[in-house]
Structure 1
Amino acid sequence: MTELDRAFTFHIEGPLTDAHTLPANVLVQILENAQRAFELIGMQVEGKTVKSRARLAKSSAEKFQLICQLPVHGCYAMPVVVGGASNDLFAPEQAAAATKIFIDLMIGIQGRDRHEMANVLIDGSIRKRVLESIKGMLPQFGSGWRLDVHDATGVNVASLGDWSASFIDELTVPAEELAAAQTVTGELRNIDFAARKLTILYPVTRREMDCFYPEELEDLLFKNRRDLLQVTGMMILDDSGIPKAIDDVTDIREVDLSPFSFSRLERETLVLTAKRPLKFVPVLDESSQYICLRDESLGIEIFAETRQKVAIELDEQIAMLWLEYALADDDSLDQIAQELKQRLLLNFDGVTHAA
């Protein structure tokens, strides 16, 4: 058993690493959630079962500690070795086993391989918690960066982006719940860990709303305890049809208003690339329930409840504008539309293929 069996590298790709640097909050996001994933994987390696908060003893946690080495010059590469100081004779072997599980999970997520997920992590409760931790490592929708994992030999074994979070949702939430789930934004007022309940103030009605979450989402509450939260689950209405509670919570996130980045889209017969990455600054509407993007120069106006929906709508609107204006004959456009066409041609390169 050598150190290579416990080593891999995180590569962060995208415009935010153009200067070979990385914002501290992104690095913390990746490493903090990766460490939690390894601690959970360590429970399976040690043959333990999940209890209330699924915490490893300090002596066990050290065996699965991520040791960061000096960053490598490039996009932004962070070499990692698994395993801190431990007197356990089997610690290197167990750290290597956890590393293999982690890399296999990343490969399975990239390949959208449901069968692989179940084989790699047999315990469903541990698997769900690990996947939530990996989801926390990933870029937010529209952030414009990508997380690659290279093995100890430098081979890129997995590339994960914001799209990977959707597959994790499909793995951890029943399809009927995903289809029926709604997202509410509110101010955090109280957390009752014993009852697995958080209370938010719903801005639309100025009433408090109780939200009931499953045990495996408890970690999210420790990481997302700011004033404004987005809670996704099954909406419960009162007799007047007004939301009063959320049951079967599937996600808890801080409201993220960091800029959206657009670089490229591929859709059916269209490949569209921004000549330089475009940034869009989101804001909340007056009700705090919708994230809004506007760009008057490009004719973009988007309202959606979550970053994921905003990112999807942004792609759809840009594709629609390109097809209806950039590719249109000047004779079919009035003066304002022709000016929009020129701005689109100035910002994007497009290629269309036969169906």
Structure 2
Amino acid sequence: MMPMAEHSLRITIDGEEIREGVPLLLLATVFSGLQSTIYYIAMAESGRDVRTRARVPDDIRTQYQLIRTAEHNSAYTIEAMFAPPVQASLPFEPNGRTAVLEKYTALLGALSESGDRTLSALFPDTTWRRRILRSLEAYCPKKGDQWHLTVSREPKGSTATLSAATRAQIVKLLAEPGFEEMTVSGELVRIHLDEHKLGIYYQPTSRVLDCYYDPELEDLIVENLKGIVHVTGRVQLDANGFPDKIVNVSDIRALDLRPLVLKSIETAGGRLVLRRAESVKPSFENGEVVFELPDLHIVASGATREDAVEKLFSDLVWLWKEYVLAPHDELSQDARELSERLRGMIEEASVGNG
């Protein structure tokens, strides 16, 4: 099966520096960097959690791998497409590849127009946005380099150029302190009542974060909190997009690891009712609350218990749509077995396949 043209990019390296030939190290830098950017966008689009070391999952690596499909003689130009899918998409399955390429070309367009607000709209999660920008910076020309990179979307023809000015803009964006309203979880290790400040140990970066709170929260902190806590507020991010400190705490809560009783599951996408209630014990890993359903291959995590429960419910409804509502003959053997397990668990379902 040949890749679709709508999933194609045309990539051109041009300039005085490459008139006599393109250095192999430059090719390696550009193409490995571009592939990394595509992977990160795909991970951000699929709702993956950001880790300190963002290993690309095998399913993302397989689905979003770019391959060279053609070369052209003008300057150094190639066409690249996603590799053919291992398994055909379901009829109602969203086209993730199209969405990722649209985000990539929109990202390049926003940088060429200095559209900081557009960047925030494209990638609302600050950590993913900064990681994607950093991957893009890796294959932009440096000041003084006599080459530039042009990327166009085939067959639509939208074109953007990456130059030393693009790199300078990315460096400026990454240098500015980022702030985001978010919840950070960690072990409460110190309290300074006179400074209205507490410190939590943040496991993903192995650092203690200072958190500045309003005096009205002091009684709650002193009387009720110990161990792992969730701190919500205006978070200043470091150069890598990870929490550096919380400058305006709006809420503090203790970690809740009570078992979750699964019976009725309701989301915006539908409702499921289990035949028998099941108890799921959460864990706390890498700064997040985690629920696991190994039989269904579900690992749902979130900054708080509520976030993790919402993710768990969404995953269950998504599985029902993708496997139970899918045409049986389009599923692999493993997918059919998963579909049967789901049917055996669920007594009542009100889920559309849209």
Please, what TM-score do these two structures have when normalized by structure 2?
0.47
Answer with 1 or 2: which has the greater Rg. 2
Please, what TM-score do these two structures have when normalized by structure 1?
0.47
